[in-house]
């Protein structure tokens, strides 16, 4: 791995401002299997030390003027931009996504730091018109305290900046546990935060045993909030573990996104939207279209165009020019994709393109389109998290809505139509936290990202995102 500014590649954790721990756990390149770095294998004891450091740093950090915290965050944002190419190459090396996508993620991730550097100055309290002449009612907004953040591997930078930037802006201090597959991006961000002037203990990063680190973060009473992005299963576990100390929670969990194409859709736009939503990051995003519901009248035309486009996608190592789909994160991910495809085919689905591992082997799988998929198949029930576009058939709008809502998940949903009344009707009927109407890519630092039902609670991004990290304090001032 050749990086211009290799100063951002760390092999130790950041606890209380000191780089700590012995490099022990391998970090591998999913495209080649090559070991590209090592990080410490820390547990409960070191996590406790990180929490205590965060707690010790809290009074001074939360006591800064919002404008002072904003200036430090702004500098962190600028450093992320200055190191864009190195961060992108590091991400492709440890996560596998094509360099073009890694570069876009650096921009996307940094946009949260920029936005919350600005938003720090706009955490406004309230004065409530008084019900009593001798008194005044006010509402203060104060940081929740020490935050534990647990993040996934699919967006190694953005899932961190999206949580940490609003937390720091609000005046919280943080202990981050990154995914074991992609700790190097997290540590690089921490190094840049140090360079930006984030004081010792304000941001701590701990790598190692997930259960032990998670156990300490959720049980330690000094931690007042857990923010997590990952699987629904682990989210529920963290929620249960956090119950004992009644922590605040922000959870971004799995999705099972429906992507509905109505007869009156612009087919080319719908195909373009499907490609972007489905094959980006090899389908490994929680907002990726997981179930593509296509109306009878447009089914064949849409299937043909999507199949032709998917068959053209260039698969390869993320560092190669023109590659549009990289590897999956590991061989277990490929095994899950294979199991879903086999189950669907056994139950009557037809492979229009792909449907098998790619000739590159190991972690590579062909971009796939399956037709005549039905709700009894495994891939209708669970997130596949791979490059499989399963096409379901429906007859009318009511059936499409029932199919779309027929899951415990409720993160993102998409639909394509040119009928304005239908656009409103369907957007309101879908039980999802985010809706793309004639759009396949909806994430932005300016908008509230999050789900309903078992896809989680809380929102990241937009002015709502910083509210997760503040508590309201009502003050009644009497005797005036």
Residues marked active site are found at 252
CB of 202 to ligand ADP, least distance (A): 21
- List C-alpha distances in Å: 418 to 229, 263, 276, 394: 34, 9, 20, 18
Measured between alpha carbons, how far is 293 from 152 in angstroms, rounded to an integer? Answer: 28
Each as own residue / partner, the long-range contacts of residues 388-391 (CB below 8 Å, 24 or more positions apart, any chain) are 388/283, 388/337, 388/340, 388/341, 388/354, 389/274, 389/278, 389/279, 389/289, 389/292, 389/306, 389/310, 390/290, 390/291, 390/292, 390/344, 390/349, 391/292, 391/294, 391/299, 391/302, 391/303, 391/306, 391/352
Measured between alpha carbons, how far is 279 from 260 in angstroms, rounded to an integer? Answer: 17
- List C-alpha distances in Å: 318 to 3, 97, 184, 213, 272: 15, 5, 17, 31, 21
CB of 257 to ligand ADP, least distance (A): 15
CB of 401 to ligand ADP, least distance (A): 29
Of 167 and 403, nearer to ligand ADP (C-beta) is 167
CB of 223 to ligand ADP, least distance (A): 12
Structure tokens at 370: 């399956």
Residues that bind ligand ADP (CB under 6 A): 150-152, 177, 179-180, 210-211, 214, 230-231, 234, 237
Of 217 and 371, nearer to ligand ADP (C-beta) is 217
Shortest Cβ contact with ligand ADP: which residue?
214
Of 103 and 163, nearer to ligand ADP (C-beta) is 163
CB of 171 to ligand ADP, least distance (A): 25
Of 180 and 448, nearer to ligand ADP (C-beta) is 180
Of 69 and 163, nearer to ligand ADP (C-beta) is 163
385 - beta bridge partners?
none
Buried b / exposed e over 136-175, threshold 16 CB at 10 Å, is: ebeeebbbbbbbbbbbbbbbbbbbbbbbbbbbbbbbbbbb
Of 123 and 206, nearer to ligand ADP (C-beta) is 206
CB of 306 to ligand ADP, least distance (A): 26
């Amino acid at each position: 791995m050749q990086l211009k500014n290799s100063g951002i590649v760390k092999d130790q954790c950041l606890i209380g401002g000191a780089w700590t721990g012995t490099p022990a756990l391998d970090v591998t390149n999913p495209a080649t299997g090559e070991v590209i770095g090592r990080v410490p294998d820390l547990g409960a004891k070191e996590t406790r030390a990180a929490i205590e450091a965060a707690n010790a740093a809290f009074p001074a950090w939360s006591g800064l003027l919002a404008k002072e915290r904003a200036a430090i965050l702004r500098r962190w944002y600028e450093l992320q931009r200055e190191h864009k190419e190195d961060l992108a190459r590091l991400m492709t090396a440890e996560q596998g996504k094509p360099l073009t996508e890694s570069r876009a993620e650096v921009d996307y991730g940094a946009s949260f730091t920029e936005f919350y550097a600005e938003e720090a100055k706009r955490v406004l309290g309230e004065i409530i018109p008084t019900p009593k002449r001798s008194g005044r009612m006010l509402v203060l907004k104060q940081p929740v305290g020490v935050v534990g953040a647990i993040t996934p591997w699919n967006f190694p930078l953005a899932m961190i900046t999206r949580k940490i930037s609003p937390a720091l802006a609000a005046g919280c201090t943080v202990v981050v546990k990154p995914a074991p597959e992609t700790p190097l991006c997290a540590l690089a961000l921490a190094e840049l935060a140090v360079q930006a002037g984030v004081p010792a203990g304000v941001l701590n990063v701990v790598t190692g045993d997930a259960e032990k680190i998670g156990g300490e973060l959720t049980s330690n009473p000094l931690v007042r909030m857990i923010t997590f992005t990952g699987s629904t299963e682990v989210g529920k576990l963290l929620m249960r573990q956090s119950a004992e100390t009644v922590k605040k929670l922000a959870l971004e969990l799995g999705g099972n996104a429906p992507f509905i194409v109505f007869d009156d859709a612009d087919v080319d736009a719908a195909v373009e939207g499907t490609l972007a939503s489905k094959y980006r990051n090899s389908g490994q995003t929680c907002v990726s279209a997981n179930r593509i519901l296509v109306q009878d009248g447009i089914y064949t035309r849409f299937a043909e165009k999507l199949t032709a486009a998917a068959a053209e996608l260039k698969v390869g190592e993320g560092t190669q020019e023109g590659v549009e789909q990289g590897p999956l994160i590991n061989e277990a991910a490929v095994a899950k994709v294979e199991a879903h495809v086999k189950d669907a085919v056994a139950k009557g689905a037809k492979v229009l393109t792909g449907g098998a591992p790619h000739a590159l082997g190991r972690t590579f799988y062909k971009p796939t389109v399956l037709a005549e998929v039905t709700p009894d198949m495994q891939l209708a029930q669970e997130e596949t998290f791979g490059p499989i576009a399963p096409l379901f058939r429906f007859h009318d709008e009511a059936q499409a809505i029932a199919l779309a809502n027929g899951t415990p998940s409720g993160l993102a949903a998409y639909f394509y139509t040119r009928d304005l009344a239908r656009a409103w009707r369907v957007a309101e009927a879908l039980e999802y936290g985010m809706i793309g109407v004639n759009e396949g890519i909806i994430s932005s630092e300016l908008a509230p990202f999050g789900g309903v039902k078992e896809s989680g609670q809380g929102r990241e991004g937009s002015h709502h995102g910083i509210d997760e990290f503040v508590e309201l304090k009502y003050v009644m001032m009497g005797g005036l």
